[in-house]
Amino acid sequence: MKKSHIIFALIAFSLAGILMFTLSIANLRKTNKQINDIFDTYYSHVDYILKGQVISKKLLYDYGSHYKDAYILTVQVDSMEIMKNELSDDERFFGIYDSELKRAYIISPIYSYRTFQPYGDNEELPRISVLTSTRDRTVKFSDGLELGMIISDSKDVFNEFENENTIHF
């Protein structure tokens, strides 16, 4: 094979690699913008403070990898102060709140911050607090764990908890 053919092939493959890299960066930026838009829309419609004790967890997604599994957490609410909740029925939401039972249901990973292992069945689960008015907007667990909020449009996940006393937040 001639040297000029090899150089041409190297240049062609290099250009194809640069093009694929550029397209993947553009797609990543588009995806990040879409995610940011979801959160910006959500936070423009809500303002609340949630504090309580996680009393149970139900496995929702078993990722089977290094990602932490997601659970539906049941929170016995100590305080739920809603300053603003302008979510429409078709908008994404963080969880539901049952005013009669004083319970909130959210989707989140949960594991021990000290051991990075799942909580055992007989272990006491941590307390949580969520403040949407702060800049970090995280779920803060009493053991030191802080996680980003999972904003969902999966209304069917919460069907078993929905009733006339529940609101999306």
Tell me, yes or no, whether 27 lies in a domain. Answer: no
Terminus-to-terminus CA distance in the chain, angstroms? 67
- Give the pTM: 0.79
Tell me, yes or no, whether 140 lies in a domain. Answer: yes
Tell me, yes or no, whether 56 lies in a domain. Answer: yes
Tell me, yes or no, whether 145 lies in a domain. Answer: yes
Number of domains in the chain: 1
Tell me, yes or no, whether 25 lies in a domain. Answer: no
Tell me, yes or no, whether 144 lies in a domain. Answer: yes
Backbone torsion region of residue 102, taken as left when φ is above 0, otherwise alpha when ψ lies between -120 and 50, otherwise beta: left
Tell me, yes or no, whether 31 lies in a domain. Answer: no
Tell me, yes or no, whether 13 lies in a domain. Answer: no
For 101-152, the pLDDT digits (tens) are 999 999 999 998 888 888 888 899 999 999 888 777 889 999 999 998 988 8
By residue range, what is the domain housing residue 79? 46-168
